[in-house]
Amino acid sequence: MLFNFQNTYNKLPEIFYSKQLPSPVREPKLLYFNTDLAHELNLNIQNQEELTLILSGNKLSSGSEPIAQAYAGHQFGHFTILGDGRAILLGEILDKNQKRKDIQLKGSGKTTFSRGGDGRATLSSVLREYIISESMYALNIPTTRSLAVIGTSDKVFRGDLLASAVLTRVADSHIRVGTFEYFEDTNSLKILADYVIERHYSHIQNTPNKYLELLENIINAQAQLIAKWMNIGFVHGVMNTDNMTISGETIDYGPCAFIDEYNPDTVFSFIDTNGRYSFSNQAGIALWNLSRLAESLLPLFDSEPAKALEQAKEKLYKFSEEFEFYWLNEFRNKLGLQEEIPEDHDLFRSLLDLMHKNKADFTNTFRNLSKFNNIFPEGCETKNADLWLATWRARLKQEKTSPQEQINLMNKHNPVYIPRNHRVEQALLAANQGDFSLFDKLLEIMKKPFSENIIWQEYTELPSENERVKQTFCGT
């Protein structure tokens, strides 16, 4: 048996989902299969033909009870009823550590929640999610993952007729802030909250107010996640509440990208004209989203609305403090520091200010710190840069760790390689023309982002002005 599916989400009332079979595709072909992830999932893959049929949606695996999940969401601040419009949950499996994982097909056809679309996904959008999600995993950032890409001979219309594909996505679950927003009755909210607690936060099961503790745990998970994004230069691009998971995983890699030259106002989504989801806004938007979650959960906190609101506010106030704590810890690692001092925040912020002023590359600047070279481009203002470097080096000398230990710490947290936007776009363009060699190379490099290899030197270089990618698209 390829998949030993379980279906615990299906045990919830049917208001939570719609039973939905995938729509078959023509001429499915297995383009990519993540063997490392398959091993972690404890999958026994012996029949590739059957695997291709199942992961294309052309055959139903034994034990699978496919569903499209219901949820809502605030999209760019506006509330909308949504649901899986092009994704179908095949079921859940237990990995080799007995941890429950969702297996979902994305681009598997229309569902009852589709809003006029075709339910399909372009090959480009599927490959983009595959490379970015696996890069995030290699960069040690909590993320959904990609198990397989199935190519098809079907075409989808996105202004032009484009190649389509189906992605197999793996997640701790696909429950979102927007899932809670979908329900207005207290009974459904309680059922969902109990399910989330049992699946993701079982350690709070017997606490006096487990629903309030649930909010606190989700706040903490998101504070950790966004701190990691900010310290790797990642811009999600569309942080709607339906794109924020309860589990604390990064999900939905649409108009996402990594910063090249550091600019806190960087925006990649072509529809984000006001910068709502800019790089520097991500922590603030996370708090906004969590506030919408808290509003949904209010009836579970206390029977008195005023008291429930005060309890929620008390938890939400902790987000900024927790985010700052995790952000500082991540930054210390990037600078080879282990001891905490009050001046840390100013040291880190002044470096970012210098990087912004001097248009320094985010990834290369931090990686070059461990080489103790000049970290800024030629022609930059050196006086303040030299002063910062002197302050940082004096700080390193005060640490109890050795210089080599400091270098090792920096190299462990500052990658050499990221999936730079222009490299991703070049690989996707070639793949659409039938040449997957650039994608294969990028995938190989991103499996080892912290290991420097001279033959991959060109993948550390910034794009030329003609290669620069200023906007990305979700592909829906």
For residue 379, is pLDDT > 70?
Answer: no
The per-residue pLDDT for 47 is 87
Stronger pLDDT, 162 or 289, i.e. the higher one: 289
The per-residue pLDDT for 115 is 85
End-to-end CA distance of the chain: 33
Distance CA 222, CA 219 (A): 5
Token pair in block for residue 354: 């210098």
Q: Considering the candidates 84, 154, 242, 252, report the single residue annotated as catalytic.
A: 242
Distance of CA 87 to the CA centre of its chain: 17
The per-residue pLDDT for 213 is 98
The per-residue pLDDT for 35 is 95
Distance CA 353, CA 366 (A): 14
Taking the CA atoms of residue 85, residue 90, residue 96 and residue 98 in that order, the dihedral angle to the nearest 10 degrees is: 90
Average pLDDT, rounded, for the chain: 94
For residue 401, is pLDDT > 60?
Answer: yes
123 in Cβ contact with 439 (< 8 Å): no
Three-class DSSP labels, 395-428:
HHHHCCCCHHHHHHHHHHHCCCCCCCHHHHHHHH
Over residues 391-395, the mean pLDDT reads 94
For residue 476, is pLDDT > 60?
Answer: no
Distance CA 449, CA 333 (A): 16
Closest CA to 244 of 276, 268, 222, 272: 222
The per-residue pLDDT for 399 is 94
The per-residue pLDDT for 377 is 63
What DSSP character marks residue 58? S
Stronger pLDDT, 381 or 247, i.e. the higher one: 247
Instruction: State the number of CA atoms in the 13 A half-sphere of 45 facing the CB.
Output: 20
- Each residue's pLDDT tens digit, 178-229: 999 999 999 999 999 999 999 999 999 999 999 999 999 999 999 999 999 9
Answer left, alpha or beta for residue 62, where phi above 0 means left and psi between -120 and 50 means alpha: beta
pTM over the 0.75 mark = yes
Distance CA 450, CA 408 (A): 11
Over residues 376-403, the mean pLDDT reads 85
For residue 108, is pLDDT > 70?
Answer: yes
Over residues 331-336, the mean pLDDT reads 97
pLDDT band at 465 (very low <50, low <70, confident <90, very high): confident
Instruction: State the number of CA atoms in the 13 A half-sphere of 27 facing the CB.
Output: 6
The per-residue pLDDT for 471 is 55
For residue 162, is pLDDT > 50?
Answer: yes
Tokens 């490299």 locate to 423
Closest CA to 193 of 121, 446, 382, 201: 201
Closest CA to 13 of 212, 171, 190: 190
Closest CA to 35 of 173, 172, 145, 151: 145
Please count the residues of the chain: 476
The per-residue pLDDT for 161 is 87
455 in Cβ contact with 444 (< 8 Å): no
The per-residue pLDDT for 464 is 83
DSSP symbols for 160-197: SEEEEEEEEEEES---BHHHHHT--SHHHHHHHHHHHH
What DSSP character marks residue 227? H
Catalytic annotation present for 242: yes
Stronger pLDDT, 161 or 431, i.e. the higher one: 431
Over residues 371-379, the mean pLDDT reads 67
Token pair in block for residue 235: 């811009």
In this structure, what are the phi and psi dihedrals at residue 259, rounded to the nearest 5 degrees? -65, 140
For residue 1, is pLDDT > 80?
Answer: no
Closest CA to 192 of 181, 207, 203: 181
Query: How far are the Cα atoms of 64, 101, 401 from residue 38, in angstroms, in the given order?
Result: 18, 12, 39
With H, G, I as helix, E, B as strand and everything else as coil, classify residue 64.
coil
Distance CA 190, CA 175 (A): 14
The per-residue pLDDT for 431 is 97
pLDDT band at 424 (very low <50, low <70, confident <90, very high): very high
Can you list the pairs that 464-470 forms with residues at least 24 positions away whose Cβ atoms lie under 8 Å? Answer: 467/422, 467/426, 468/260, 468/421, 468/422, 469/257, 469/268, 469/421, 469/422, 469/424, 469/425, 470/268
